[in-house]
Homo-oligomer: A and B are copies of this chain.
Amino acid sequence: MSRQKRLVIVDEKEILKILEEYGKSIANQILEGEKPKIVIPIRTFSNTIWDRKAKILRLGPRKAVREFFDIGESKRFMQTVLMLSLIVKARREGDYPTIRDLYYTGKHTIVYVDEYGKKRREETWNDQRESNAVIQDIEVATGLLREHMGIMHDAKGKIVGNVIIRSKGYEIDLSRMGSGAYAIPPNVDKIEILKVDADYVLVVEKDAIFERLNEEEFWKRNRAVLITGKGQPDRATRRIVRRLWEEFGLPVYILTDCDAYGFAIYSVYRSGSISLSYESERLATPEARFLGITVTDIEKYKIPRNYIIKATDRDIKRAKELMNYPWFKESKEWLKQLKLFIEKGEKVEIEALSGHGFKFLSKTYIPEKIRRKEWIV
C-alpha cells in the first residue's frame, strides 16, 4: 500500500497560530510599505491534475496573485482578509460559527466615495457562494481544512463497529450504540481513533440499508466497520473513511446501487471530487474498492426482469462523463462495466437483491464477494 502518513493537526493553539501568521504576513507587507498581495493556489478545473501514482486528484502548481491595488482583485482581497479576521476572532473566542454564520457576520454595506466624488455603496458579499469561496481560498493558502478552523456545517455520516475513539476527553465505544449509531461530527480530525478491531470498512450508500445492517448486527458477525455517507458523502464521512484506511490499513469497500450516481459516489470516496481536489490528500481513499452492485451482477445474481429500472438519459450522460475520468479510463474492469451500462441502459438498486430473501445481501452477497475478491477498482 502506498499510504502516506500525514500529521493531523488537532491542537487549537497551533491552528490559531497558523491563521494569525497568515494574517500577519499580509499586514507586514503594508507595514513595510509594499503593495499588499496574497498568493493563493488556483482551484479551477484547469489546475486540477490526476496524480497517477498516488491515485488521487490534486491541485496543480498554478497560483493566483491577488493584489490590493489591482481594481479587479481588490474586492476579493478585501473578502479574504475580512473572512480571515472573522475566523481568527472565532478561534480566539472559542466560537464555532457555521459557514452561514460567517456569511452573515461578514456581510455589511461599505459606503465609499469613488474617483468622481460620487457616493457609492457595495456589499462585502452578496451571497454565500462568495463567502464560501474565500473560506476555500484560506484553506488552500494555509493548508488547513475549514473543519480545523472550527467552522461548522451539516454532517450526515454515521458509523458503528468495533472502534474506540476519543472525543472531548470521552472514550466512545462505537460498538455500544444499540439500534442507533454514532453521528460523525464535522471535524473528524479532533477525534482520536484509539482502537480498531475489525477486518474491513463497509461503506453503504443508503441510510436505510445502513439501518438494516446495523439492526441485524452485520458488522459484529463480519468484523466490519459500517459507515454511511447518505448518498454523495460529505467531507467528514470521507475523512473518517480515509483515516481508517490510512491509520489502520483497513480495506474499504463501497456498496451502492448499480447506476451512474452510485458509481460516482464510489469515485468520490476513492479519488476525490474536482471541486475539492485540494482536499483529496486528506479526504480520498485511493485504494477503496467497489463491491457492487456492478452491471454484470445483474445477470450473475439473476435479478428478475421486473426489478430492473430503465436508465434515464441523465444516467447515460453521467456514465459517459465517468468514462473520461482517468481513474475509470485506466481501469479495464470499469471501462467494461460503464460500456455495458451505457449499452444496456439498465440500472438496479441494492434492495433488488431482496428478491432472493431478506438475508441475501448480508449473508451471501457481501461476504461472498469479499471472500472471492470480486470487487472492482
Copies in the complex: 2
CB–CB B179/A100 < 8 A = no
Shortest distance from the beta carbon of A160 to any chain B beta carbon, whole Å: 9
Please tell me if A191 contacts chain B, counting CB pairs below 8 Å.
yes
With an 8 A cutoff between CB atoms, is A296 at the interface?
no
Q: Contact between B185 and A183 (Cβ–Cβ < 8 Å)?
A: no
User: What sequence of 0s and 1s flags, for each residue 206-218 of chain A, a beta carbon within 8 Å of any chain B beta carbon?
Assistant: 1111011011100
Binds B, one of A21-29, A317-325, A328-336, A347-355: A347-355
With contacts A154-B211, A168-B178 taken as known, whether A103 is within 8 angstroms of B351 at the C-beta atoms is yes
Instruction: Establish whether residues B172 and A182, one from each chain, have CB atoms under 8 Å apart when the complex forms.
Output: no
User: Once the chains bind, are B108 and A306 in contact (CB under 8 Å)?
Assistant: yes
CB < 8 Å neighbour of A186 from B101, B170, B211: B211
Task: Pick from A63-71, A90-98, A193-201, A244-252 the stretch touching chain B.
Answer: A90-98
Nearest-Cβ distance from residue A229 to partner chain B, whole angstroms: 13
A183 vs B351: C-alpha distance when bound (angstroms): 23
Identify the 7 closest CB pairs spanning chains A and B, nearest first: A167-B178, A179-B185, A95-B358, A98-B208, A101-B354, A181-B183, A168-B178
A residues with CB within 8 A of B: 90, 93-105, 107-109, 123, 150, 152-156, 158, 165-170, 172, 176-187, 190-191, 206-209, 211-212, 214-216, 230, 304, 306-307, 349, 351-352, 354-355, 358-359
